[in-house]
Amino acid sequence: MITLQTPADFLPLVGQALGRSDWFSIEQTHLDGFAALTGDDFWLHVDIERAARELPGGRTIAHGLFMLSLVPRLQRQIFHVAKRGAGLNYGSDRVRYTAQVPVGSRIRLHQKVHAAERVGAATRLTTECTMELEGSARPAMVALFILLMQDG
């Protein structure tokens, strides 16, 4: 874990890797809860019996948006800013889901500083996020994740 004093400390880190999270296991309870919350209850996420018959590998697969929603949780293991105000999810760019994530898989987040710029009394941080899928040559997801952090 990297600890920075202020959001502005990201400015000289553009192009540098921040680190990676611990492994996170994708469980069926995660997919069921996400489906209930979002209404995305397509069978390949929640129907264990049908997935066993029809999907390669015979397991349900994670929602792409679920993978993206894990970024804030996992990035807390990668960096911490000691003196900061509010942080806002500013958006995501170039999101791609590049491999299926079967239930029971483990993923972890790699982050690199893509851009950092001052915006008034805040820093807009863009990180390159790569969601590694254990045992796969292809990542599960790649995206630019944008966070606006106010000075503290």
Note down pLDDT in tens along the chain; length 152 residues. 999 999 999 999 999 999 999 999 999 999 999 999 999 999 999 999 999 999 999 999 999 999 999 999 999 999 999 999 999 999 999 999 999 999 999 999 999 999 999 999 999 999 999 999 999 999 999 999 999 999 98
Q: For residue 64, give the amino acid letter.
A: G
Are the C-beta atoms of 92 and 145 separated by less than 8 Å?
yes
> Cβ-count burial of 114 within 10 angstroms (0-12 exposed, 13-18 middle, 19+ buried)?
middle
Domain spans in the chain, listed from the N-terminal domain onward: 2-151
As a CATH number, domain 2-151 is 3.10.129.10
